[in-house]
Structure 1
Amino acid sequence: MTDTILVLIEDTLAPVDIEHLLALHEGEVLDYHVLVPADSDRPLLATVIDNLGLGELGDAFDRLRGKEPSVREAKATADEQLAATLAEFAAAGREASGEVVDDDPLPALRAAAENGDVREIAVVTYPHAYLDTLHRDWASRAREELELPVLHLYSGTSELG
Structure 2
Amino acid sequence: MNPTILVLTEETLNEADARNLGYLAEDNPVRFEILVPADPGRNMLVDVLDNLSLLDFAAAYRNIAGPHLSEKQEVKAAEQELAESLDLLRGLGFDADGRVTGQNPVEAVVEEARRSQAQQVVVITTPHAVEDTFGTDWANEAQDRLGVPVLHLYSGSTFIGDS
Paired with 2:96 and 2:76, the residues of 1 have a C-alpha distance of 20
Aligned to 1:74, what secondary structure does the other structure show?
A: helix
Structure 1: segments with no counterpart, 5+ residues: none
TM-score normalised to the size of structure 1?
Answer: 0.92
Aligned to 2:95, what secondary structure does the other structure show?
A: coil
User: Paired residue for 2:108?
Assistant: 108
Q: How has the CA–CA distance of structure 1 residues 14 and 65 changed in structure 2, closer, same or farther, with 3 Å as cutoff?
A: closer
Paired with 1:135 and 1:55, the residues of 2 have a C-alpha distance of 21
Aligned to 1:24, what secondary structure does the other structure show?
A: helix
Deviations 1:56-105 (A, max 9, x none): 43442343459532111111111111001001101211120000001321
For residue 55 of structure 1, report the CA deviation from its aligned partner.
3.6
User: Paired residue for 2:137?
Assistant: 137
Deviations 1:92-149 (A, max 9, x none): 1112000000132112111111212210100111111001001111000000111111
Q: How has the CA–CA distance of structure 1 residues 40 and 16 changed in structure 2, closer, same or farther, with 3 Å as cutoff?
A: closer
Structure 2: segments with no counterpart, 5+ residues: none
1:7 and 1:33 in contact (8 A); partners too: yes
Paired with 1:89 and 1:34, the residues of 2 have a C-alpha distance of 10
Equivalent positions of 1:1-161 (< 5 A) are: 1-39=1-39, 41-64=41-64, 68-161=68-161
Identity %: 37
Paired with 2:47 and 2:67, the residues of 1 have a C-alpha distance of 12
2:30 and 2:95 in contact (8 A); partners too: no
Give RMSD over aligned pairs: 1.7
1:40 and 1:74 in contact (8 A); partners too: no
Give the counterpart letter for 2:149 in structure 1. P
Paired with 2:58 and 2:156, the residues of 1 have a C-alpha distance of 24
1:2 and 1:117 in contact (8 A); partners too: no
Give the counterpart letter for 2:11 in structure 1. D
TM-score normalised to the size of structure 2?
Answer: 0.90
